[in-house]
Structure formats: C-alpha cells, structure tokens
Amino acid sequence: MRDIIGDAMTETSFAGRVSRWYEQHARDLPWRRPEVSPWAILVSEVMLQQTPVVRVVPAWQAWLERWPTPAALAGSSPAEAIRMWGRLGYPRRAVRLHECATAIVERHGGAVPDRLEHLLALPGVGTYTARAVAAFAYGQRHPVVDTNVRRVVCRAVAGEPDAGPTTRPADLVAAEELLPAEPAAAALASAAIMELGAVVCTARSPRCDACPVESTCAWRASGRPAPAGPTRRPQRYAGTDRQVRGLLLGVLREATGPVPHQRLDQVWADDVQRARALAGLVTDGLVEPVGETSFRLIGDGPPAPVAG
C-alpha cells in the first residue's frame, strides 16, 4: 500500500491519514472489489444516488446478475428495468440507467467511456457520478465530491458544521487541493474521504473519537459549533404528488402489461391530484397510455398498434 499512497503524500498529510484509516476500516462493499467492471461501478453509483448502502447491496447484485453489461440492459425493456429497480426510490433513475446503457452501446460500442466529457453526456450521470466512475473505475485523478466529502472538507478545513446543499465549483477546487498527485492515490483518497463522511464524520452524532484527522480538524478545534439555522428545507412526502406517484407506480410494477385506470383510481381519492400524478409519470417517461382506458410501464409489451 505504501506504493499506492506514493511519495507525494506524506504520512501526516490529510489525505495520507484518511487513506491509511480507510485501508484499515473501510467497509467491505461488493463494488469495491478489484475485479468489478466499470459498468458495475456505474450501476452502483447511480443506485447510491440518495439511497442508503444497505438497500443498494442486494439490488446491485441482482441487477448485475441479470444485466452484466450495458448491451444486456439495452436489450431489455425499460419496464423490466423499472421492475428490477424495486423499491430503491426515484425510479426515474432506472429509466435513465436504461437510456444510459443504450447510449453506451450506440456511442461507445458497449464500453463505459473513460473520459469525463463522455461520461457527463450520459443520461442520469452528473458531476458526482461522472467523476466517481472516472476515478474508481479508471483510476483517474479527479476530485469526487458528494455530500460526505463536502461535509468532511467543510468541517475539517473550514471549521463549519455543515456544507451547502449542492456541489459548487469551489467545492471541487477545495477537494482537489487535498488530493495527492499520483492518480491511483488520489482515487483512493477520494474513496477514503467519502467513507470517513459516511461512517465517522456523519451529519448527526459524528464520532470524532474515531476520526483519523481529529487532531487537525478546524471544526473540532472550535468546539464543534452547531449549524446556525435550518441548513435546508425539509422534504415533506405525505400527501404530495410524489407519494401518489409512488402508489400508482407500485400498482403498475406489480402488474404485467396494461392496467385499467379503474384499478389506478383506487390508490388515491383525490381525482385531480391522482390525474396530475399519473400525467407526470407519463411526461417523465415512466408510464405510457394503452388505448383510452389503460396504462402500463413504459415499453411493457408490444407497441400500441398504429392506426392506418
């Protein structure tokens, strides 16, 4: 491991201490095994967008068993992708991942691209995911900044209790400045900082006694001040269109093929809100109408016959 950490990173540098801690304490997550493909890593990163690790692990394994390559997924229907997604949440991610697989086949001959520019052009792949794939699958030196990294850097370097709600260019710069020069060591350091934020430097109840950079943490040095105010708007769910969409999709996911609207009507009493939620699912490419009175998951069966 000394070779990976490299000469440019000293034992006492921030990245060096976190990386050594990571080598000893990292969770044994399946997508971190050395033999996993770039596609498997991409799938894990998409699933991990806003979904906890414990729920992703079994879904990731089942998904890759069924679709080990982008071409395999592209050969199935979007409906099957939505079903396989199960209850991970934000099912539009399943549709985007299917679109992503198709784009990888069409634009890159079925191989996950290794250039940031090409990764960013894929559906469902944004700033975080593109950099995560470039770094973790291809060993490139890019700052990989998610909510964990922002929180760790914000606390340890700036001494502030919490980072902003979104990743800004300044966050990428701040993270990049912590990375060692050698690409493989930089990728390791990014994974290590993320892990630190996930299991030690958590949003609630951080475990500073277990932290490898506790001695130089600016936030701890200033007495771990609490956030000034509410850092972000609460995300309500009960009674929202999102809840209704979830209920509608639950019915369509369990069914095979078209579902009469009468069955969908039973999931929510408010006609206006239910209709709006269903229309939203259609607009977002998750659901399609079949004839005048039924709906189904997108691509769930043969195309509707065209008049003429």
In whole angstroms, what is the distance from residue 146 CA to residue 126 CA?
A: 11
Contact pick of 223, 229, 234, 308 for DNA (by CB under 7 A): 234
Q: What 3 state SS string does 16-57 have?
A: HHHHHHHHHHCCCCHHHCCCCCHHHHHHHHHHCCCCCHHHHH
Give dist(CA 48, CA 194) in Å, integer. 13
* Residue 233 sits in the site that holds DNA (CB under 7 A): yes
Q: Distance (Å, rounded) from C-alpha 153 to C-alpha 168?
A: 13
Which residues ranging from 57 to 86 are in contact with DNA (CB under 7 A)?
A: none
- Minimum separation from the CB atom of position 306 to DNA (A): 26
For residue 288, state whether it binds DNA (rule: CB under 7 A). Answer: no
Per-residue burial over 110-136, b if 16 or more Cβ lie within 10 Å, else e, is eebbeebebbeebbbbebbbbbbbbbb
Q: CB of 265: closest distance to DNA in angstroms?
A: 17
CB of 285 to DNA, least distance (A): 10
Q: Which of residues 260-279 bind DNA (CB under 7 A)?
A: none
Q: How far apart are CA 278 and CA 151, in angstroms?
A: 37
Stretch that binds DNA, among 11-19, 106-114, 120-128, 171-179 (CB under 7 A): 120-128
Asked if residue 123 binds DNA (CB under 7 A), the reply is yes
Interaction between residue 10 and DNA (CB under 7 A) = no
Q: Is the Cβ of residue 209 or residue 292 nearer to DNA in the bound state?
A: 209
Distance between CA atoms of residues 208 and 204, nearest Å = 12
Q: CB count, 10 Å around CB of 17?
A: 21
Contact with DNA (CB under 7 A) among 66, 87, 107, 115 = 87
Both tokens of residue 13?
């540098």
| Residue 238 DSSP code | T
Looking at this protein, which amino acid is placed at residue 98?
Answer: H
Active site residue 99: no
Considering only residues 242, 265, 290, 301, which one is a binding residue for DNA as defined by CB under 7 A? 242
Nearer to DNA, 80 or 195 (CB): 195
Tell the smallest beta-carbon distance from residue 264 to DNA (Å): 14
The residues binding DNA (CB under 7 A) are 29, 31-32, 44-45, 48-53, 55, 87-92, 96, 123-130, 132, 146-148, 166-167, 194-195, 197-198, 202-205, 230-237, 240-243, 245-247, 249-250, 280, 284
User: Where in the sequence numbering do the catalytic residues fall?
Assistant: 45
